[in-house]
Structures are given as structure tokens and as C-alpha cells.
Amino acid sequence: MKINNLPPFQPNSGQYAPQKETGIDSGRGRMRGETVEEVQKAANRDLERRVQEEVDDFYETVESFMVRDLKFQLHRDSDRLFVQVIDVVQNEVVSEMPPEEFLDMVAKIQDMVGIILDELV
């Protein structure tokens, strides 16, 4: 089939090579005169910026954990292990698991049970 005013197709002649795209792209944010490569570079810069922000947020989270230290101790009266979470910067106890007051109470109950058993026996 031959169409008027159109030369026949010749492979590898460069005759039908893709041209640089320009113009308005519906819904993709390209503006008149921007090439696809320019839009891709801008998108890559935006992606790099967002990734860097996420990495910075991650490092802040990791650093918040690095200023904490765990200290394992044995409660003398109850012979139970407890853990203290210590803020390294301010050198203060942030929390205890289980609380030391609870272990003090357990030790007193054990003493009272021991006294009761001693009196009964």
C-alpha cells in the first residue's frame, strides 16, 4: 500500500527517530518548553530531597535511643532482677521495670509471710 506524500519506511535511516518531546503534558505537571529529561531531573531532585528528609528523621530517632542506657540490677531484699532506663546525658533514671517500690513491697510481704510461718512452726 502506498500513501501519497509519504516516503517509504527505511529502517535505521533515522528518518523516523523519536524527537525531543516538548509542550504541555496533561496532568503530569510539565510546562510548555520543558523536555522529558528536565522533568525527570526535577522529579529525581525532589525524590532525593524527600529521601534525605526521611533519612534525617530516621537518624533523629536512632539518636534518641542512643542517649538511653539500660542498667540491670539485682534487688537485694527480694532477690529479683530489675532494669533501669537511664538518660545518659542527664545521668538520671527515666524508668524502672519493675519499679523498685514494687520490689520493696514484695520483699516486705515475703518477710511478713516468713514471720507468720516462723510463729506457726
pLDDT band at residue 4 under the 50/70/90 scheme: low
pLDDT at 21 over 50: no
Task: Put the strands of the sheet holding 80-87 in their side by side order.
Answer: 68-75, 80-87, 92-97
Q: Which three cell numbers stand for residue 18?
A: 523519536
Specify whether the backbone of 5 is left (phi greater than 0), alpha (psi in -120 to 50) or beta: left
Q: Burial, 44: exposed, middle or buried (Cβ in 10 Å; 0-12, 13-18, 19+)?
A: exposed
Residue 21: which residues within 8 A CB-CB, separation 6 or more?
Answer: 35, 36
User: What is the radius of gyration, based on Cα positions, of the chain?
Assistant: 37
Interval 26-77: pLDDT, tens: 445 556 667 888 888 999 999 999 999 999 898 888 777 778 888 999 998 8
- Please give the pLDDT value at position 111: 87
Of the chain, the percentage scoring pLDDT greater than 70 comes to 70
